[in-house]
């Protein structure tokens, strides 16, 4: 499992670098992607971006629970060098949290419908539309790749107590 870095670590505020196909297909990079997925699930996340595990490269992973069946994606979604554009002007406010900002939550406005372009973990181009929760998760993770945290956009921030009695 990888260590998740938290605020105020300066690298969380840096824009991540795009990666090329040769770097992507390296065994070490593929193992890193697998380790990101494991870390996301171990820490009860629904998404994880590489900067959150101290790698400022443009890779993020999204758990299969966030992906509607209509997308016909089996397993977790791996996005390499992702970009998105809004499809409509409609936005929604909802509560967000982040593994890199422990115990803090707040309301964030995100676009309801977006179009995503990226590579999959093998460098194959992806292009699809996402809405509602999946669109929110993708926007949150791509923000990480741009050095932006949800707390930069949130309002009505609040803190919750730790549930883990071992701490």
119-152: pLDDT as tens digits: 999 999 999 999 999 999 999 999 999 999 999 9
How far is the first Cα of the chain from the last one, in angstroms, to the nearest whole number? 20
pLDDT tens-digit series, residues 151-162: 999 999 999 987
Q: Let me know if residue 80 belongs to a domain.
A: yes
Q: Let me know if residue 141 belongs to a domain.
A: yes
pLDDT at 164: 54
Residues tagged in the binding site annotation for Fe cation: 98, 140, 144
Q: Let me know if residue 81 belongs to a domain.
A: yes
User: For residues 120-152, b (16+ Cβ closer than 10 Å) or e, as one string?
Assistant: ebeeeeeeeebbebbbbbbbbbbbbbebbbbbe
pLDDT at 163: 62
The yes-or-no verdict on residue 167 having pLDDT over 90 is no
Q: Residue 88 — φ and ψ, nearest 5°?
A: -135, 170
Q: Let me know if residue 130 belongs to a domain.
A: yes
The yes-or-no verdict on residue 166 having pLDDT over 60 is no
More confident residue, 126 or 164: 126
Q: Residue 130 is part of which domain span?
A: 10-159
Taking CB atoms within 8 Å and a gap of at least 24, the contacts of 45-50 are 45/99, 46/137, 47/137, 47/138, 47/140, 47/141, 48/4, 48/99, 48/141, 49/16, 49/141, 49/142, 49/144, 49/145, 50/16, 50/145
Q: Let me know if residue 152 belongs to a domain.
A: yes
Q: Is 141 a catalytic residue?
A: yes
pLDDT tens-digit series, residues 7-39: 999 999 999 999 999 999 999 999 999 999 999
Single out the catalytic residue among 27, 42, 141, 159: 141
pLDDT band per the 50, 70, 90 thresholds, residue 87: very high
Q: Let me know if residue 56 belongs to a domain.
A: yes
Report the number of distinct structural domains present in the chain.
1
Task: Name the DSSP letter for residue 35.
Answer: H
The percent of residues in the chain predicted with pLDDT above 90, rounded, is 89
Q: Let me know if residue 45 belongs to a domain.
A: yes
Q: What is the CATH number of the domain that holds 97?
A: 3.90.45.10
Global pTM value: 0.93
Residues tagged in the binding site annotation: 98, 140, 144
Residue 111's alpha-carbon distances to 36, 63, 74, 115, 138, in angstroms, are 26, 20, 25, 11, 10
């Amino acid at each position: 499992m990888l260590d998740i870095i938290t605020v105020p670590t300066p690298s969380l505020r840096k824009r991540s670098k795009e990666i090329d196909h040769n770097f992507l297909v390296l065994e070490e990079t593929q193992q890193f992607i697998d380790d990101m997925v494991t870390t996301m699930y171990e820490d009860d996340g629904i998404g994880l971006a590489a900067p959150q595990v101290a790698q400022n490269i443009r890779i993020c992973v999204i758990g299969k629970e966030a992906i509607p069946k209509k997308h016909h994606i089996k397993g977790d979604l791996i996005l390499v060098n992702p970009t998105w554009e809004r499809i409509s002007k409609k936005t929604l406010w909802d509560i967000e949290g982040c593994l890199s900002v422990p115990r803090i939550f707040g309301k964030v406005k995100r676009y309801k419908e977006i179009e995503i372009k990226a590579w999959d973990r093998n460098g194959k181009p992806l292009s699809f539309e996402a809405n509602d929760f999946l669109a929110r998760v993708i926007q949150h993770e791509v923000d990480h790749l741009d050095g932006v945290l949800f707390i930069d956009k949130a309002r009505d921030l609040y803190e919750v107590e730790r549930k883990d009695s071992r701490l």
